[in-house]
């Protein structure tokens, strides 16, 4: 049953015993800039180097974010003994190769979502990290937000009863451009890998791996999935209904319905947000939960950076909140959905 007092989130608070790691960034683009700002402003972690194929880009990024060293190749960064962990923010088509090179160099890796373009690539990276004894983790920041902790506690306590339905949606209006990475299949473009992955991982958090995936959608002229509607089925008769698109802005909300109660996430559900929780009976009072921390928007990328440092300090080689086998499973779901959409 729904508790009268909602659980307090277990936070990845900086300065709570995690080691101060020395970070290198590969791929000085927009999301790397948001990550660098979050690390510098809200963690004890250190940014020591950034690498790009363009030394000019790396230098400009280093200057903007106060990073000591700018490099014109990934190999130079990986050869540095003063880099403990590499944040990979290249186009997703390069995630696997860059992660494998970093792991071979003995570095921990935080790979921006999607971890890789396919589940097969993810298995390669996971196997390499496990063999090398380094930590590999997908940059699925939603798993480390305060609301994710509250949700995990409620699910573990059975507050919703038996979960029967998960709904999640993520759509953004991305203007078509032949050079835009989301419209280029060779760069791992498309709605599912970039946006829909948030909905798929949300369903996975609640229900695990589906027993059946049914997907319908539309393709762009350039050959990537423009939109997708997914029905995920589970052995206990639960279903997840998921939607994603790069053709229109959508509510980006999510909800979980069980036999004892419902949780609704305000949009965008994958960002720091608010929850409303109510019992299943019609007319039940609604409880509201708000993130008690000051981190909003991409400042909340700090949580995953501190989480990684804590996991390294604990001697872990993967995240206990987003294990590599689950990362692979999520990509298996996306592989299946993408293939069905492409086949029409």
Distance (Å, rounded) from C-alpha 322 to C-alpha 201? Answer: 9
| Closest by Cα among 220, 224, 217 to 185 | 224
Answer whether 229's CB lies under 8 Å from 217's CB: yes
C-alpha 270/C-alpha 141 separation (Å) is: 8
Tokens matching residue 26 = 């590969």
* Peptide bond between residue 268 and the one before it cis (omega within 30 degrees of 0): yes
Q: Please state, in angstroms and rounded to a whole number, the distance separating the CA atoms of residues 134 and 209.
A: 26
Does the active-site annotation cover 113?
yes
Strand, helix or coil for residue 115: coil
**Contact predicate 18/306, CB 8 Å:** yes
Question: Considering 42, 65, 95, 113, which one is annotated as catalytic?
Answer: 113
Distances (CA, A) of 90 to 54, 97, 235, 283, 286: 13, 11, 37, 49, 42
Closest C-alpha among 326, 339, 129, 127 to residue 215: 339
- Counting Cβ atoms within 10 Å, is residue 320 exposed (0-12), middle (13-18) or buried (19+)? exposed
Where in the sequence numbering do the catalytic residues fall? Answer: 113
């Amino acid at each position: 049953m729904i508790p009268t007092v909602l659980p307090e989130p277990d936070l990845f608070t900086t300065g709570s015993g995690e080691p101060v790691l020395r970070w290198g960034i590969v791929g000085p683009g927009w999301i790397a800039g948001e990550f660098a700002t979050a690390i510098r402003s809200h963690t004890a972690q250190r940014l020591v180097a950034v690498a790009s194929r363009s030394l000019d880009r790396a230098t400009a990024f280093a200057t903007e974010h106060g990073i000591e060293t700018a490099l014109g190749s990934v190999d130079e960064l990986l050869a540095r003994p003063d880099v403990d962990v590499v944040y990979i923010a290249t186009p997703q088509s390069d995630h696997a190769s860059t992660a494998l090179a970093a792991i071979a160099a003995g570095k921990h890796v935080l790979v921006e979502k999607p971890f890789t373009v396919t589940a097969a690539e993810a298995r390669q990276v996971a196997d390499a990290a496990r063999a090398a004894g380094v930590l590999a983790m997908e940059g699925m920041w939603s798993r480390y937000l305060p609301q994710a902790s509250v949700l995990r506690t409620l699910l573990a306590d059975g507050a919703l009863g038996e979960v029967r339905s998960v709904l999640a949606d993520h759509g953004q209006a991305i203007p078509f451009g032949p050079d835009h990475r989301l419209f280029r299949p060779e760069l791992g473009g498309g709605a599912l890998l970039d946006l829909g992955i948030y909905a798929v991982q949300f369903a996975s958090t609640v229900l695990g791996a589906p027993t059946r995936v049914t997907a319908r959608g539309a393709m762009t002229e350039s050959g990537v999935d423009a939109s997708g509607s997914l029905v995920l089925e589970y052995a206990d008769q639960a279903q997840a209904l998921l939607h994603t698109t790069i053709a229109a802005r959508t509510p980006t909300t999510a909800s979980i319905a069980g036999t004892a109660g419902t949780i609704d996430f305000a949009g965008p559900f994958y960002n720091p947000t608010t929850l409303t929780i109510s019992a299943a009976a019609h007319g039940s009072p609604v409880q509201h939960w708000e993130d008690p921390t000051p981190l909003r928007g991409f400042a909340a990328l700090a949580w995953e950076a501190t989480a990684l440092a804590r996991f390294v300090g604990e001697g872990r080689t993967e995240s206990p909140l987003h294990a590599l086998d689950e990362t692979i499973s999520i990509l298996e779901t996306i592989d299946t959905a993408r293939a069905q959409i492409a086949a029409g």
